[in-house]
Amino acid sequence: MNYGFVKIAAGVPEVSVAEPRANVQSIENLVIQAEGRGVEIICLPELAMTGYTCGDLFAQQLLIDEAEAALIHLLNFSRSLDIIVIVGMPVVFRGMLLNCAAVVQKGKILGLVPKTYLPNYHEFQEQRWFAGAQALPRGAQVWLGGQQVTLDACQLFRTPTCCFGVEICEDLWSPVPPSCQLALHGAELIFNLSADNDLVGKESYLRQLIVDQSARLHCGYVYAACGFGESTQDLVFSGKAYVAENGILLRRSEPHSLRGQLVESEIDVERLRMERRTNTTFVTASAHTSEAMPVVESALITTHDFELSRTINPYPFVPQGSDLDVRCQEIFSIQAEGLAKRLSHTHAKSAVVGISGGLDSTLALLVTVRAFELLKLDRRGIIGITMPGFGTTDRTYTNALTLMRQLGVSVREIPIGRAVQQHFEDIDHDISVHDVTYENSQARERTQILMDVANAENALVIGTGDLSELALGWCTYNGDHMSMYGVNAGVPKTLVRHLVSWVAAQGDAAVRATLLDIVATPISPELLPANDHGEIEQKTEDLVGPYELHDFFIYYAIRWGFRPAKIYYLAQAAFGNTYTIDTLKHWLRTFYRRFFSQQFKRSCMPDGPKVGSVSLSPRGDWRMPSDACAAAWLAECDSL
């Protein structure tokens, strides 16, 4: 099972200028390597059969005949192979010479795609030898390699796993590349056969162009350009090859290699289809496309066992390297500006934040401080309230008080023990029974305090709950579930920790030490008494599962709509050395069970800013019935 992935490759063969018989051997060497690795489609460079730099030799009939003979050799070679080969070669039609891509499989030419836009500037003078696709009648037929073949720039190729189209080099650089129409007509993969020379600064521009086109079209984009062996009379070709998917560069070739290269990866076509279905702009543009394109069907039968070679990031919400600092800056700014607008709109000069000494309340406090700075309000208008209860430990209690004092906000301490005990007496609950009533009564008492203080101070209660807790329903209904503005509502737990660490790096040494100790504290609601050593007894991740797993499940289930089996497969690739398969199955089932059963909490969640590609706001991104049935999802989890 391929789980929606299509294995593709960009091949850069060594080339001998004007020697097709030698070139087809290099091409076949790459093809057989790709076939052995389970590649379904391989793209080779522009005019790879002859070499791109033949110049006026393209006018020699002998070269044209040799190219066709090499194609026949490739056709015979491919008869026993499953792989689809896309290779560049010159083709004659009605006295015109065309720069074409030949799509070949199992001894057949599935189609010929001529280049549409021919460069005729600086070092590239293709119009000297070739005609563009505009000169052809629609649906033109040509006799090549003993076969009658369609010659058309506007045609699609469909296999049982994907639909793809082809464009050639300069086509991508045009104002409206052919790939735009190909994608709107259904092409999920675009293959570009190119001959791209090296110039200072050109590579980064080209790479960005490819990545941006894959993002704009929600497609996979595979690019293969000429490499070593092309004439260096005036230019050098370093063999650029790229594989991009929906705005992400998956793989690239080694620059300036003197050997043939095979750059392979897997394109997640299921992900692309999901993105297109939910992107109304793409859907609208697709609905206004011109007449239908011809589609060539291919019986692609892959007998190889599928193996995923691309890396699956176990932390999809957390960028790597320097990008993490940029992401943290963006998210923190969005949170603070969202709160600043709400404070300004309500004319509130004060805010109330419940401070537990944990990660979420710490981030909420830091965001509130920043919002007050933006509005030039006195920090003393921030009322931080710590409310120790039956499970509060010395560590979190001390960190809560210390952080509030260091940040210069107003500090209040309101123990909840006596009030909760009175409440237990009122409802006839045994205080020695540590059940859900015991826990939730504390959470609701704290929320009542925050709300009532906010009323007394003409302030807003700032919510602390994060995206991961909302997804799992890990909050007390009408307790910490409720606030007047939830600044963390769009931030997953795995990113909360990094945000607090990022703020710590910006502050003075004293604040930094406090924040880093909060980051190192186990995550807990602290609603059950501490152990005999005064340490946290109730650890959230022991109860609901590791947040790194749940954030992974959230990303692929909500952002991409993947089914449990595929998420489980990706989780094995991402966490295979960290968790056993039984552990992954257990927590995946827990995720779906809780996600469906706890929707009622999300249906009435407070306002809060969206910060990333996943949001659970019932007013924006997520509209789900509170009583939807989880049976199909849980059944698939059980079948894994």
pLDDT tens for residues 110-154?
999 999 999 887 777 889 999 999 999 888 999 999 999 999 999
Contact 527, 438 (CB under 8 A): yes
* Angle at which helices 564-575 and 581-597 cross, to 10°: 140
At residue 139, the pLDDT reads 84
pLDDT tens for residues 328-376?
999 999 999 999 999 999 999 999 999 999 999 999 999 999 999 999 9
pLDDT tens for residues 313-326?
999 999 988 899 99
User: What does pLDDT average to over the chain?
Assistant: 93
Q: Is 6 helix (H, G, I), strand (E, B) or coil?
A: strand
At residue 125, the pLDDT reads 84
pLDDT tens for residues 535-576?
766 777 888 999 999 999 999 999 999 999 999 999 999 998
Residue 549 is which amino acid?
Answer: L
Q: How far apart are CA 118 and CA 180, in angstroms?
A: 18
Residue 54 has pLDDT above 80, yes or no: yes
Nearest CA to 60 among 114, 17, 18? 18
Q: How far apart are CA 356 and CA 585, in angstroms?
A: 33
Residue 294 is which amino acid?
Answer: P
Choose, from 19, 28, 115, 188, the residue flagged as catalytic.
115
pLDDT tens for residues 510-532?
999 999 999 999 887 777 887 77
Distance of CA 208 to the CA centre of its chain: 17
Segment holding 350, helix H or strand E: strand 350-354
317: Cβ–Cβ under 8 A, 6 or more apart, which residues?
492, 494, 495, 551, 555, 612, 614
Beta strand pairing call for 410-413 and 220-225? unpaired
Q: Is 385 helix (H, G, I), strand (E, B) or coil?
A: strand
Q: What is the DSSP string of 88-119?
A: EEEEEETTEEEEEEEEEETTEEEEEEE-S---
Choose, from 28, 35, 46, 167, the residue flagged as catalytic.
46
Structure tokens at 442: 């504390």
Is residue 46 part of the annotated active site? The answer reads: yes
Segment holding 7, helix H or strand E: strand 5-12
Structure tokens at 390: 């039956």
At residue 300, the pLDDT reads 67
DSSP state of 314: S
Structure tokens at 283: 């859907």
Domains of the chain: 7-297 (3.60.110.10), 322-639 (3.40.50.620)
Choose, from 100, 169, 226, 637, the residue flagged as catalytic.
169
pLDDT tens for residues 446-477?
999 999 999 999 999 999 999 999 999 999 99
Q: How confident is the model at residue 301 (pLDDT cuts 50, 70, 90)?
A: low
Nearest CA to 434 among 527, 365, 500? 527
Q: How far apart are CA 86 and CA 97, in angstroms?
A: 19
DSSP state of 54: G
Distance of CA 320 to the CA centre of its chain: 13
Is residue 180 part of the annotated active site? The answer reads: no
Is residue 115 part of the annotated active site? The answer reads: yes
Nearest CA to 364 among 621, 606, 548? 606
pLDDT tens for residues 262-275?
999 999 999 999 99
Maximum distance among all alpha carbons in the chain?
A: 101
pLDDT tens for residues 229-244?
888 888 888 889 999 9
